[in-house]
Amino acid sequence: MTGRSCSRFAILASALTIGCLAGPRSDIPPGTPISSLAIVHRGETNAAFLAAWAWSADQAWVAGQGGIILGWDGTRWAPESVPTSETITSIWGSAEDHILAVGDRGSVLHRVSGTWEVDTVFTGVQLLAVWGFDRNRYWAVGTGGQIFQHTLAGWSVMPTPTSTELWDIWGVSDQALIAVGNNGTVLECCTTGGWRQVSTPTTQTLLGVAGDATGRVVATGSRGTILLRDGTGTWRQVPSPTAVNLFSVRAIALGDFTAVGDGGRILRGDGERWSLAPVTGPAENLRGITSAGGRQFASGWYGNVLDDRGGWQQRTSGGILFAVHSPTDGRALAVGLGGLAFERVNGSWRSVALPTTTTLFGVDGADAENRIVVGDSGIILRRTAGVWRREASPYQGLLRSVWWAPDGRAMIVGDSGTALAWEGAAWRRLTTGTTAFLRHVWAREWADVWAVGDSGTVIRWDGKQWRPLKAPTDQLLRGVWGRSSRDVWAVGEKGVVLHWDGDRWLTLPPPTAGALRAVIGDGADIWVAGEDGTAWRWTGTAWVPISTGIPGLIVGMGGGNGAPFFTVGEVAVIAEGVR
Alpha carbons 517 and 554: distance in angstroms, whole number: 7
In the predicted model, is pLDDT for residue 5 greater than 60?
Answer: no
530-569 in b/e form (b: 16+ CB < 10 A) is: bbebbbbbbeeeebeebebebbbbbbbbbbbeebbbbbbb
On the 0-12 / 13-18 / 19+ scale of CB atoms within 10 A, 99 is buried
Final residue belonging to a domain, choices 263, 289, 316? 316
Query: CA 232, CA 254: separation in Å to the nearest integer?
Result: 17
- 395: in domain: yes
Mean pLDDT along residues 221-234 = 94
| Residue 426 covered by a domain | yes
Q: Residue 283: what pLDDT?
A: 81
- pLDDT higher than threshold 50 for residue 69: yes
Query: Are 161 and 141 part of one and the same domain?
Result: yes
At 12, which helix (H) or strand (E)? helix 8-12
Are residues 203 and 164 part of one domain? yes
pTM of the model: 0.84
pLDDT per residue over 376-430, tens digit each? 999 999 999 889 999 999 999 999 999 999 899 999 999 999 999 999 999 999 9
Inside any domain, residue 11 = no
DSSP for 149-207?
EEETTEEEEEP-S--S-EEEEEEEETTEEEEEEGGG-EEEESTTSS-EE---S--SPEE
The confidence band for 213, taking pLDDT boundaries of 50, 70 and 90, is confident
Q: Please tell me whether residues 80 and 206 are part of one structural domain.
A: yes
Q: Which of 338, 131, 340, 149 is nearest to 250 (CA)?
A: 131
The answer as to whether 237 is a domain residue is yes
Closest Cα to residue 570, out of 298, 334, 288? 334
What pLDDT is attached to residue 377?
97
Q: Are residues 331 and 306 in the same domain?
A: no
The domain tally of the chain equals: 2
Please, which residues have CB within 8 angstroms of residue 440's CB and are 6 or more apart in sequence?
Answer: 400, 401, 413, 451, 452, 453, 477, 478, 479, 480
507 forms beta bridges with 498
Identify the three-state secondary structure at position 301: helix
Same domain? For 253 and 359 the reply is: no
| Residue that is last in its domain, among 316, 333, 361 | 316
The whole-angstrom distance between residue 501's C-alpha and the CA centroid of its chain comes to 40
**Residues 281 and 370 both lie in one domain:** no
Residue 145, in any domain of the structure: yes
Give the per-residue pLDDT at 31: 57
Same domain, 440 and 347: yes
427: left (phi over 0), alpha (psi -120 to 50) or beta: beta
- In this structure, the answer to whether residues 362 and 376 fall within a common structural domain is yes
Query: Is pLDDT of 539 > 80?
Result: yes
pLDDT tens track for 107-151: 999 998 899 999 999 999 999 999 999 999 999 999 999 999 999
d(CA 487, CA 442) in angstroms, rounded, equals 12
At a CB cut-off of 8 Å and minimum separation 6, what does 437 contact?
400, 414, 415, 416, 417, 453, 454
Q: What is the mean pLDDT of residues 270-282?
A: 92
Question: What CATH number does the domain containing 135 carry?
Answer: 2.130.10.10
Residue 1 lies inside a defined structural domain of this protein: no
pLDDT band at 562 (very low <50, low <70, confident <90, very high): confident
- Which residues form the domain of 445? 321-578
Q: Do residues 308 and 318 touch, judged by C-beta distance below 8 A?
A: no
Same domain, 388 and 362: yes
Average pLDDT over residues 368-374: 97
Same domain, 334 and 294: no
pLDDT at 267: 98
Indicate if the pLDDT at residue 7 is higher than 70: no
pLDDT band at 579 (very low <50, low <70, confident <90, very high): confident
Contact by Cβ (8 Å): 298, 285: no
Answer whether residue 387 is part of any domain.
Answer: yes
The number of beta carbons lying within 10 Å of the beta carbon of residue 192 is: 9
Buried b (16+ CB within 10 A) or exposed e, 59-70: bbbbbbbebbbb
Residues 14-57: tens digit of each pLDDT: 332 333 333 333 333 445 778 899 999 999 999 999 999 999 99
Q: In what order do the strands lie in the sheet with 107-112?
A: 88-95, 98-103, 107-112, 115-121
Residues 269 and 331 in one domain: no
Q: How many residues does the chain have?
A: 579
Q: What is the pLDDT of residue 29?
A: 46
Question: What does the pLDDT look like over 442-472, one tens digit per residue?
Answer: 999 999 999 999 999 999 999 999 999 999 9
Question: In this predicted structure, what is the pLDDT of residue 25?
Answer: 33
Q: Which of 316, 335, 366 represents a domain boundary (last residue)?
A: 316
What DSSP designation does 22 have?
Answer: B
219/368 same-domain check = no
